[in-house]
């Protein structure tokens, strides 16, 4: 049979062990929280970089497409202007003939 002194010693030891476990758990918890915070910040930075990269890619593609469309419109408009100019030039000769005939 254990004596009261031994029982009290065992209880104190159990309390100390429990306090140590609680302290170790708090330290481990803090480490896990710190690691999670660090990883979260790292993931946020990586996501920002990826988003910026994707935004730049989309912007470049949009700019390239806009330039192609502008070139196409410019080329098409140039052709139409040339056609109109040729028609007008052809009509100048005809108009000159009409004017000369009407004067004579």
pLDDT at 91: 82
Biggest CA-to-CA distance, the chain: 149
Handedness of CA 32, 36, 39, 41 (dihedral sign): negative
Predicted confidence at residue 7, as pLDDT, reads 87
pTM: 0.54
pLDDT for res 2? 64
First to last CA, the chain: 149
- Give pLDDT tens digits along the chain (104 positions): 569 988 899 999 999 999 999 999 999 999 999 999 999 999 999 999 999 999 999 999 999 999 999 999 999 998 999 888 888 887 887 877 888 778 87
The half-sphere exposure of 9 on its side-chain side, counting CA atoms within 13 A, is 5
Alpha helices in 1-104 (DSSP H): 4-103
């Amino acid at each position: 049979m254990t004596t009261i002194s031994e029982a009290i010693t065992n209880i104190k030891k159990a309390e100390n062990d429990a306090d140590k476990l609680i302290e170790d758990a708090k330290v481990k918890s803090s480490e896990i929280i710190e690691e999670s915070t660090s990883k979260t910040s790292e993931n946020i930075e990586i996501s920002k970089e990826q988003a910026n990269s994707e935004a730049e890619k989309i912007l470049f593609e949009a700019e390239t497409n806009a330039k192609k469309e502008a070139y196409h419109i410019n080329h098409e408009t140039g052709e139409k202007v040339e056609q109109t100019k040729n028609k007008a030039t052809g009509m100048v000769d005809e108009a000159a003939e009409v004017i000369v005939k009407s004067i004579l």
